[in-house]
Each structure stands twice: as C-alpha cells, then as structure tokens.
Copies of this chain bind each other. A is one copy, B any other.
C-alpha cells in the first residue's frame, strides 16, 4: 500500500486508524463520503471517531493523494487520485452530473500560470449550471 510508505516517509505516524482509513479509501473507485469511510472503518475498529476520519482525509487531500469536491449535496466527497482525473458539470435544475475530462481545463490553467504566475490546483472541479435538457 503505497500511501502507507508515503505517509511514513513524510514523517507522519502510522496508526491502526490511519491504516484502516487508507484501506477503505483504496477500495473505492467512486466518490466516497467521510461518513462512508467511517462506516467501513468502524466495521473493524468500532471505536474510531469520525473526527479522526475527517482529519485523515484532510491530510490526504493536503498531500495530494485524494481530491475533495462538493457535488452540490452539502457534503464533501473524496476521490482517489490514482483512479483518474476528471471534473463534473452539475445541473442546478435536474441534478444531472456530466463528467468532463480534465483536459478541458488545460487552457485556463495555462493562462492563469502565464498571466498571473498562479499555479491552479484544479484536480477535481464541480461547475454548476444548466444541462442541455434544462435550458427551457
């Protein structure tokens, strides 16, 4: 499990809690919530507190191992970086979610770097608007 190595190498401690959370994260191909990870971790370690899950996912995000997005549900969802980059177009009217390849953002990313020397971290975007069906 490469994350375990990564965390250790960066000077973080490996705890049973973190190990279980990392394993849960790796089993998901989809956009998982903190709650879901907590449930899965508790199946084996019932005492693990959800704030530990929040803190660990936040850490993984800062290390760039997962991405974090609010898909408009009012909760944060995470996605493992190894499972592919992409973005989402979310219809404010019908809730449809359209997946978009990350390449769509490349020109914008390049422009921000050239014009503002700003290195945008656009690894998992949610853009709200209206899908084809819902434009009256």
Contact = CB atoms under 8 A, between A and B. Distances in A.
B89 A112 contact: yes
A122 B105 CA distance: 14
Contacts of A122: 127, 129
Give the copy number.
2
A116 B97 CA distance: 11
Interface string A93-124: 00000101000110110011001111111100
A131 B118 contact: yes
Most-contacted residue by chain B among A89, A98, A121, A129 (CB, 10 A): A129
B89 A116 contact: yes
A132 interface: yes
Interface of A: 89, 91-92, 98, 100, 104-105, 107-108, 111-112, 115-122, 127-132, 135
